[in-house]
Amino acid sequence: MVNTKVTLSGMTLDNPVIPASGTFGFGYEFADWYDINCLGSISIKGTTKDPRFGNPTPRIAETASGMLNAVGLQNPGVEAVINTELPKLAEVYKKPVVANVSGFAIEDYAYTCERLNDQPQVGIFEVNISCPNVHGGGMSFGTDPKLAAEVTRAVKKVTTKPVYIKLSPNVTDIGEIAAACEDAGADGVSLINTLMGMRIDLKTRKPVLANKTGGLSGPAILPVALSMVYKVYDRVKIPIIGMGGISSAEDVIEMMLAGAAAVEVGAANLVDPMACKRIIDGLPASMEKYGIDNLTDIIGGAH
């Protein structure tokens, strides 16, 4: 019998499949479709210090083998997440979750993580550094190794739980950013976030998205994600959560061979609400097909 269990910084998951932040709400919404306790964990909707309405519409555009989104981190703010969203999730999900946190200043990240640190449901922090730095001319924290390290250190100071930094692929050398986060004390990294993209409406001759550009996700970006996870695995010793275009059990295995200790499934949830369950149900058969007894044995196996 195959073993699908994996471990992230001391947190054991029954399987490596985690719905990605922003594609699974706060989790309880999917409990109407299936028993979400089959999931390895859940990366809850990105949370900021204050409530955010998000970007103007339209926010979504289809692409070949993927989609663009410019939702703009819509969420009710950390206090509502603590007082309303996490208690609702606790009614239907009994495992630790990954708390995805965003911010527009280093103080925002620290404040939000500190508030969430005492929540028993939070097992790991996933810090999204693809946000624009409002005090730094709008440059994303994730494009500068020094800024990425500053955010990492600030969050580590106020938390007692593992901190994973979510990296942007829109950089020259993602390995350099990952190494800077590791040096600053990160317990792990997760990658990749979405790639920047655009669609233009031929009738109006204007960008489809109100925000003009958005983040590309879906099967189209899997090869990019694999190459970046592979590269980062060679640069750091901390665990990697791999994501980007995963939609099957075979994709999970491929991502783990590249170096991921666990994976996140994003856009697939928006196409098929049962995607994560389908992937998890198919994992044992795929492992047997490729002669894999323990998933942990194949992490980084392609190197």
Residue 133 has a pLDDT of 72
Quick check: is 1 in a domain?
Answer: no
Percent of the chain with pLDDT over 70: 99
CB contact set of 8 (below 8 Å; sequence gap of 6+):
124, 162, 164, 188, 239, 241, 261, 262
Percent of the chain with pLDDT over 90: 96
Quick check: is 15 in a domain?
Answer: yes
pTM: 0.97
C-alpha–C-alpha distance, residues 84 and 20, integer Å: 20
Q: How many domains in the chain?
A: 1
Encoding tokens for residue 1? 């019998």
Return mean pLDDT, the chain: 96
Residue 135 has a pLDDT of 77
Residue 134 has a pLDDT of 72
Quick check: is 203 in a domain?
Answer: no
pLDDT digits (tens, 9 = 90+) for 98-132: 999 999 999 999 999 999 999 999 999 999 998 87
Q: What is the CATH number of the domain that holds 97?
A: 3.20.20.70
Domain extent for 227 = 6-54+69-198+215-298
167 pLDDT above the threshold of 80: yes
Quick check: is 303 in a domain?
Answer: no
pLDDT average, residue stretch 53-66: 95
Q: What is the three-class DSSP state of 108?
A: helix
pLDDT average, residue stretch 69-91: 97
CA 294 to chain centre: 24
Q: How far is CA 217 from CA 201, 262, 274, in A?
A: 19, 18, 18
**Catalytically annotated residues:** 131
pLDDT average, residue stretch 269-282: 97
Residue 195 has a pLDDT of 95
Quick check: is 207 in a domain?
Answer: no
pLDDT average, residue stretch 219-228: 98
138 pLDDT above the threshold of 70: no
Quick check: is 205 in a domain?
Answer: no
C-alpha–C-alpha distance, residues 283 and 16, integer Å: 10
